């Protein structure tokens, strides 16, 4: 089974390396030649274009920034649909609008090309060590067929439902993460404004019901003012925009998500778009005239 991998960004590059290490015959493509060279040094072949990869692979994994990029790679000029053979499957591991996943899948099916959406959660560290959480939408038959392949880059692969369902689950994940980070920011700000050491408050609450993976990952970063990106604010803005778009399409009210989106937009305007989403705490520091930095 020859696998194509298109998109060697922060997530795609380590994921593709893990596929090579697992022994898969991999052909990669990215507009950044240096990234292709790096993965090729691990044993992958380099494609000359998206169409070149699609023409020689029966499975094509895409890992791209957002919906327009996936549409262009799948259906645009020089895209997958031009050269892929009938029976090819596209496994889109990007985090995009589920409405677009369904639309792109419908267009690909006219060419005899199947599609699954399989967005991931876990950030760069879990992409590197191959323990991502993968949420899959598409046919159950294809999920079962490619489960072992997906487990090569993951610690958890869960079938959610029909095409688009994977991205719905990912957007739900991103809503939970964003609201958790905002809650941690509020809590630490409250502690400092009341003269209590935020580190001690963190230690006090982390063992109870308020404890969470988000708390343990982000509270120390906030107190260290270490906003080196594991997941950038600008990417979380993209995800929340997709969540709100999906919500509006189904008349779903997401008032808390809307509020956190406004917080992130304010941070973007303050020049923080490329910082880790734990920088949400900077918004609270600004409006409360305080710092949680230790």
How far is it, in rounded angstroms, from Cα 282 to Cα 184?
A: 12
pLDDT score of 6 = 98
Asked if residue 156 and residue 24 are part of one domain, the reply reads yes
Q: Which of 170, 218, 238, 282 is catalytic?
A: 170
Q: Confirm whether 282 is domain-assigned.
A: yes
Question: Distance between the two ends of the chain, CA-based, in angstroms?
Answer: 52
Helices then strands, each counted (H, E), the chain: 14, 9
Let me know if residue 294 belongs to a domain.
no
In terms of domains, do 63 and 202 share one?
Answer: no
pLDDT of residue 23: 97
Q: Which domain holds residue 213?
A: 169-288
Q: How far apart are CA 156 and CA 41, in angstroms?
A: 28
**97: domain CATH number?**
3.40.50.720
**Percent of the chain scored above 90 by pLDDT?**
96
Residue 96, pLDDT above cutoff 90: yes
Please say if 170 is a catalytic residue: yes
Question: Alpha helix (H) ranges present in 76-212?
Answer: 80-83, 98-109, 123-129, 140-151, 165-193, 198-205
Residues 87, 223 share a domain: no
Alpha helices in 110-159 (DSSP H): 123-129, 140-151
> How many domains does the chain fold into?
2
- The model's confidence at residue 122, banded by pLDDT at 50, 70 and 90, is confident
- Structure tokens belonging to residue 49: 């274009």
Express each pLDDT in 244-278 by its tens digit: 999 999 999 999 999 999 999 999 999 999 999 99
- Distance, in Å, from the CA atom of 104 to the CA atom of 138, rounded to the nearest integer, reads 13
Please report, rounded to a whole number, the percentage of residues in the chain having pLDDT higher than 70.
100
Mean pLDDT of 159-168: 97
């Amino acid at each position: 089974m020859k696998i194509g991998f298109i998109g060697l960004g922060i997530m795609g590059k380590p994921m593709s390396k893990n596929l090579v290490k697992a022994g898969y015959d991999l052909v990669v493509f990215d507009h950044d030649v240096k990234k292709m060279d790096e993965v090729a040094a691990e044993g992958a072949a380099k494609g000359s274009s998206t169409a070149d990869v699609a023409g020689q692979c029966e499975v094509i994994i895409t890992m791209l920034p957002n919906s327009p990029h996936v549409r262009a790679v799948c259906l645009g000029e020089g895209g997958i649909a031009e050269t892929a053979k009938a029976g090819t499957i596209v496994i889109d591991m990007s985090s995009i609008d589920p409405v677009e996943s369904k639309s792109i899948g419908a267009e690909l099916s006219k060419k005899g090309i199947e599609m699954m959406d399989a967005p991931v959660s876990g950030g760069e560290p879990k992409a590197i060590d191959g323990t991502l959480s993968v949420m899959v939408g598409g046919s159950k038959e294809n999920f079962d067929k490619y489960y072992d392949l997906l487990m090569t880059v993951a610690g958890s692969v869960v079938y959610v439902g029909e095409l688009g369902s994977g991205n719905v689950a990912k957007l739900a994940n991103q809503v939970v993460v964003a609201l958790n980070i905002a809650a941690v920011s509020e809590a630490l700000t409250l502690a400092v404004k009341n003269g209590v050491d935020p580190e001690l408050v963190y230690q006090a609450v982390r063992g109870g019901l308020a404890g969470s993976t988000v708390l343990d990952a982000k509270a120390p970063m906030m107190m260290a003012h270490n906003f080196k990106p594991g997941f950038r604010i600008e990417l979380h803005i993209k995800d929340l925009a997709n969540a709100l778009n999906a919500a509006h399409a189904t008349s779903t009210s997401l008032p808390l998500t809307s509020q956190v989106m406004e917080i992130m937009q304010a941070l973007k305007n303050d020049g923080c778009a490329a910082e880790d989403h734990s920088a949400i705490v900077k918004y609270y520091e600004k409006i409360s005239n305080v710092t949680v930095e230790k």
